[in-house]
Amino acid sequence: MQTKKIELSNLVKILPFAVLCIVTGIINPVFFSVSNLIDLARSISFLLIVSVGVTFVLFGASLDLSIGSVMGLGGAVCGLCLVNQVPIPAAVAAGLLVSGLIGVLNALLIVNLQIPALIATLGTMYIARGVVNVMTRGEPYYPLPEAFMKLGQGTLAGIPYSVFIALVIVFASHFVIRKTNYGRSLMAVGGNKEASRLSGINVKRILFTAHVYVAVLAGFVGVILASRLSSAQPNSGDGWEMTAVAAVIIGGTSMYGGYGSVIGTILGCAMMEVLSNAMVLLHVSVYWQKIAIGVIMIAAVGMDTFRLRKISGNA
């Protein structure tokens, strides 16, 4: 029943998304050009990869504001290894490992020490960004190996590799949530932690793995961005945490946990990136873009809150 409601909700959101695309294309036909659509698909795929991890965390009624800094850290560690002649697979693994360790730290603070997720991940956000600044001293790591740059710049049949990577992650994650005991347990924990614990679910393990998963995916996006930009930038990922959270909420995942879908996150990411792309093509100031995203996020959270109150009978 819940799945049908989610699917219906996603269908309703497709209409304004389609209208936005059509109106933008009419005003500026460049929107539907092949090059713009490819660039749009690439930017959506970057946001989508990290947003899938955010979706898992929100399913468990938790939060992670450190992902932007973790992206920068993952890319910086990978870049540092590469400029020091470390083999590409080992450099990528190092970036993911360090990112995963931030996820472990977040999990320990939130799950074991019971520190509120907002405070814990806000703290690790500053820690991770500080580590990046100390490592890089504000300077990018370059040049990077030509073979490494294929990860973020390469294409298959004209479609960026990152799009295929994002789709694999999305559908694998969707399968985990809908078809495995872990996925059902994660949704149950988000719905009611105490009831889940009493039913035999290892709540700490479930939330622990969700936080590590989002950190690893964030670090992976940082690595891909370094490949895309041909350098590991110290400010990489700055501000992405709120963009990803907004995309997931717009995609229909509840901030209160236990409700939503990974597939809906695709739509949320597409709407965020199309809106940004449309405003650029329509020559709208970047400041207005941030206002628009903020309004949309507030509206999405407001609708989610109203839905929850209606279910609980308090509307």
CATH number, domain containing residue 171: 1.10.3470
For residue 273, give its domain range: 2-310
Q: Check whether 220 has a pLDDT greater than 60.
A: yes
Q: Check whether 232 has a pLDDT greater than 70.
A: yes
Whole-angstrom distance, CA of residue 301 vs CA of residue 239 = 19
Of 18-27, 55-64, 115-124, 141-150, the one with minimum mean pLDDT is: 18-27
Average pLDDT on 234-257 reads 90
Average pLDDT on 197-212 reads 95
pLDDT of 108 reads 97
**Which residue has better confidence, 258 or 117?**
117
Average pLDDT on 169-177 reads 96
Tell me the pLDDT band of 5, cut-offs 50, 70 and 90: low
At residue 252, φ and ψ (nearest 5 deg) are: 105, 0
Determine, yes or no, domain membership for 75: yes
- Crossing angle of helices 34-59 and 240-250, rounded to 10°: 80
Helix/strand number for the chain, H first, E second:
13, 2
CB of 85 closer than 8 Å to CB of 102: no
Average pLDDT on 135-142 reads 92
pLDDT of 70 reads 98
Determine, yes or no, domain membership for 21: yes
Determine, yes or no, domain membership for 205: yes
Whole-angstrom distance, CA of residue 226 vs CA of residue 309 = 43
Residue 232 DSSP one-character state = B
Q: Check whether 7 has a pLDDT greater than 60.
A: no
Residue 63: partners with Cβ closer than 8 Å, 6 or more residues away:
57, 117, 118, 121, 245, 255
Determine, yes or no, domain membership for 73: yes
**Which residue has better confidence, 308 or 213?**
213
pLDDT of 239 reads 86
Determine, yes or no, domain membership for 138: yes
Q: Check whether 10 has a pLDDT greater than 70.
A: no
Determine, yes or no, domain membership for 175: yes
pLDDT of 9 reads 58
Whole-angstrom distance, CA of residue 106 vs CA of residue 116 = 10
Determine, yes or no, domain membership for 274: yes
pLDDT of 215 reads 98
Determine, yes or no, domain membership for 315: no
Tell me the pLDDT band of 242, cut-offs 50, 70 and 90: confident
Amino acid type, 173: S
Report how many domains make up the chain.
Answer: 1
Of residues 91, 64, 87, the one with CA closest to residue 79? 91
Q: Check whether 119 has a pLDDT greater than 90.
A: yes
Alpha helices in 180-261 (DSSP H): 181-191, 193-198, 203-229, 240-250
The half-sphere exposure of 96 on its side-chain side, counting CA atoms within 13 A, is 13
Average pLDDT on 295-301 reads 79
Tell me the pLDDT band of 124, cut-offs 50, 70 and 90: very high
